[in-house]
Chain A
């Protein structure tokens, strides 16, 4: 299994509060991703990073920001949590090879409930 941890694993918060989720990897992979999983939507990309301090938006980035100051850590911040951000959040990593596309490996997930 790829060395990916996410913290916290579970969180309950109130609407309007800021929340930060952490993804930590020990694989030294260059690419990191944040997804959310919701019923009827599958996995949707929020933000991704292709290197330290290099990030870009995904499909559902509104209301989220990210930071990557070290190769091993990728932080996802909900600036002001809303009930629509109640979801399960997954971090993933990949290492580009000869081709651009390489398999992504996922962390265990963080279950977030916004009341």
Chain B
């Protein structure tokens, strides 16, 4: 039972445009969400997070939106750059736990 789902395995976006990566979750106890970015042959690196008390968190070119009623979050990258080409993982955790549940990842390719 996949509690965190990234239904798009890949996404291709032109440089300068917006990239939108989506993530859905099923567990209503999740209240903390993170995005990680992973380059080939490297470990995942933390990108941005959001608590369920917010519906938006912004850090430079990266913005995460949380829609609790739809159990959906999205990562917006504006403007997209070739260096953003990587696999992006969504992760979630619930109250009183230090474990993260990861989605299966979305491979983003930003082309010139």
Contact = CB atoms under 8 A, between A and B. Distances in A.
Contact of B104 (A40, A100, A106): A40
B100 interface: yes
A64 interface: no
A96 B41 CA distance: 28
Interface centre among A58, A102, A104 (most CB of B within 10 A): A104
A91 B46 CA distance: 14
- Name the prevailing secondary structure of the B interface residues: loop
A109 B104 contact: no
Interface string A1-34: 0001000000000000000000000000001000
Interface centre among B42, B91, B98 (most CB of A within 10 A): B98
A43 B32 contact: no
B81 to A, nearest CB: 20
Nearest to B92: A101
Interface residues of B, number: 25
Contacts of A43: 44, 89, 91, 100, 102
Nearest to A104: B100
Interface string B68-112: 000000000000000000000101010111111011110000000
A32 to B, nearest CB: 11
A44 B45 contact: no
Contacts of A42: 4, 6, 89, 102-105
Contacts of B6: 42
B34 A103 contact: yes
A7 to B, nearest CB: 14
8 contacts: A42-B4, A42-B6, A42-B89, A42-B103, A50-B98, A101-B98, A106-B36, A106-B44
